[in-house]
């Protein structure tokens, strides 16, 4: 922990020890206004954290911690384009991609918003050309399918947003390839027609190993049908024009982005091209507008009413004071099925760090393990562990008051009311549980004998006192989705500031890449490199034998 924050951490530890022995049931019984005191909203987006193990004194101490960590000053430095990514000497300006920073901010002498507007205009115009058929196939047809090839942020963001905005799809069908496992490419391409398929390659340097191998497979597939004209069926999101030209991709179909945009924060940029093709310029612009609204709230709202700040502080409280190492992220919204995976990268790649900005070891736990699946499926999968397991697992719920889909054959209101009933019930059950006496009453009503009842009571008792936060919004629209994603982005930033880590580098992914390059010749030549460890040597030998 940073030394100058020690007194704040000490006070918070005292509050945590006090609250650990106070059940949520008692906290609610003691305060009839608990919901109003521990919920905050931005327009229709409500964050209810009244079911967290927290009270006003602890929340005040958390806000004081944020002030002492200079969250506001660090936020302002980020917004003004200062190079807060200190290990790479880069600014951090993903907010600029949705016009969420003030006009006039410059990085290395370049006006950021003007550059963003120019590239945005180009890739949105191209998306519309593909959608309308103005940009045609080599045979003069309209494209029916688009395959986006990328990995990490170049895949998770577009996949998540495209899935979330399925009700707005009115363009070509969009598909995604990310895994270097050839099955992903083959299974995606085999059902498509190369004569009407556009391939988008998303790699800033055009050297990402997995992406380039997957592209080589897709390009061979295109060439088998289109010959040397295959390049006309390819667009790229890259800054390496020399490389893209070598593949026959005209500069008009290449869209760049900047060093001040991390991959996991890039869906707002040209990386979002497949999203724009699927849903169109208007919906994509509304997606950006939602994020901008959250940016403006984050930049201007007092800490005590600031959704991202409060969300981040609740995470600090859970992770560092109550010692919960994991968070279940459960969207009760099928269109957000890929949201937990997206947030996994956003959070765990950003704050999965063990040293502070000055390189010294951090003295506390950092990023929690984020995981989850959509409700209600999750209830029939792992909620048993969350309700009655030996460890407490906090839950972040997301839910819309209204469905985003429309149908002529399904009673979507009934479906959605059932969905909402479940999310409310799960949050209630986690917080308040069911004690032994209530279980006995139920079993007596069922006609069981006293002996049978006592044999079952402990198995059917729910301890409760398991914290959760619920995000509730009117409907999942492009605008709402933009707000939600930006909310999680800013939460990660605030937590990184408090932990004193660099949330915007990711050196942890580099070592495995380097070792893979060393091992590649051994697999190709079926050899075992000299000096390799015994385990890897044994595994290589077994692989060679199995491939013989």
- Enzyme catalytic residues: 349, 380, 513
Tokens of 262: 């991390």
| 174 phi, psi to nearest 5 deg | -110, 135
- Strand blocks (E) in 58-196: 106-107, 110-111, 145-149, 173-177
Residues in the chain: 548
Contacts of 282 (CB under 8 A, 6+ apart): none
- Locate 467 and state its tokens: 């914290």
Q: How many CA atoms lie within 13 A of 199 on its CB side?
A: 34
Alpha carbon distances (Å) from 183 to 191, 208, 221, 456: 13, 19, 14, 48
Q: Which residues contact 194 (CB under 8 A, 6 or more apart)?
A: 221, 222, 224, 225, 226, 233
Q: Quote the CA–CA distance of 40 and 291 in Å, as a whole number.
A: 18
Report residue 92 as tokens: 């951090």
Give the single-character DSSP code of 138: T
Q: Distance (Å, rounded) from C-alpha 284 to C-alpha 386?
A: 36
Q: Concatenated DSSP letters for 233-294?
A: GEEEE-S-HHHHHHTT--GGGEE---TTS-GGG-TTTGGGHHHHHHH-HHHHHHHHHHHHHH
């Amino acid at each position: 922990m940073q030394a100058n924050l020690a007194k704040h951490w000490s006070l918070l530890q005292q509050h945590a020890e006090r609250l650990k022995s106070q059940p949520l049931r008692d906290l609610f019984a003691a305060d009839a206004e608990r919901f109003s005191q521990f919920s905050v909203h931005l327009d229709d987006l409500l964050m209810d954290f009244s079911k967290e193990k927290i009270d006003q004194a602890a929340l005040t101490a958390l806000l004081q911690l944020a002030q002492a960590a200079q969250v506001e000053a660090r936020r302002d430095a980020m917004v003004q384009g200062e190079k807060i990514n200190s290990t790479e000497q880069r600014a951090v300006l993903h907010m600029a991609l949705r016009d969420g920073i003030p006009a006039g901010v410059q990085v290395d002498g370049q006006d950021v918003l003007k550059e963003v507007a120019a590239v945005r205009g180009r890739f949105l115009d191209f998306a519309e050309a593909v959608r309308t058929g103005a940009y045609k196939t080599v045979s003069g047809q309209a494209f029916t399918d688009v395959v986006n090839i990328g990995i990490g942020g170049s895949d998770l963001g577009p996949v998540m947003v495209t899935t979330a905005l399925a009700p707005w799809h009115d363009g070509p069908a969009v598909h995604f390839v990310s895994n270097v496992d050839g099955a992903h490419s083959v299974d995606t391409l085999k059902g498509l027609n190369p004569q009407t398929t556009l391939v988008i390659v998303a790699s800033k340097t055009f050297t990402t190993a997995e992406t380039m191998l997957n592209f080589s497979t897709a390009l061979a597939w295109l060439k088998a049908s289109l010959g040397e004209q295959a390049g006309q069926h390819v667009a790229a999101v890259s800054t390496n024009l020399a490389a893209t030209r070598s593949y026959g991709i005209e500069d008009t179909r290449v869209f760049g982005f900047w060093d001040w945009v991390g991959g996991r924060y890039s869906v707002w940029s040209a990386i979002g091209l497949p999203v724009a093709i699927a849903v169109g310029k208007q919906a994509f612009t509304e997606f950006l507008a939602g994020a901008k609204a959250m940016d403006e709230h984050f930049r201007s709202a007092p800490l005590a009413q600031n959704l991202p700040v409060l969300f981040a502080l609740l995470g600090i409280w859970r992770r560092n004071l109550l010692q919960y190492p994991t968070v279940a992220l459960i969207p009760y919204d099928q269109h957000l099925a890929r949201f937990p995976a997206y947030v996994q990268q956003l959070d765990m790649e950003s704050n999965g760090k063990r040293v502070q900005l000055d390189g010294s070891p951090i003295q506390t736990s950092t990023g929690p393990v984020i995981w989850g699946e959509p409700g209600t499926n999750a209830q029939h999968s792992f909620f048993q562990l969350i309700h009655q397991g030996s460890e407490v697992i906090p839950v972040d719920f997301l839910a819309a008051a209204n469905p985003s889909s429309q149908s002529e054959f399904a009673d979507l209101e009934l479906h959605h009311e059932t969905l909402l009933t479940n999310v409310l019930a799960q949050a209630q059950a986690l917080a308040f549980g069911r004690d032994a006496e209530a279980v006995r009453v139920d079993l007596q009503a069922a006609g069981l004998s006293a002996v049978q009842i006592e044999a079952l009571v402990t198995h059917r008792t729910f301890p409760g006192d398991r914290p959760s936060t619920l995000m509730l919004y009117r409907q999942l629209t492009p605008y709402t989705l933009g707000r939600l994603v930006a909310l999680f982005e800013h939460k990660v930033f605030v937590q990184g500031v408090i932990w004193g880590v660099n949330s915007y580098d990711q050196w942890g992914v580099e070592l495995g890449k380097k070792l893979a390059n060393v091992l590649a010749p051994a697999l190709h030549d079926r050899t075992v490199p000299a000096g390799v460890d015994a385990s890897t040597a044994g595994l290589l030998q077994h692989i060679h034998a199995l491939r013989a």
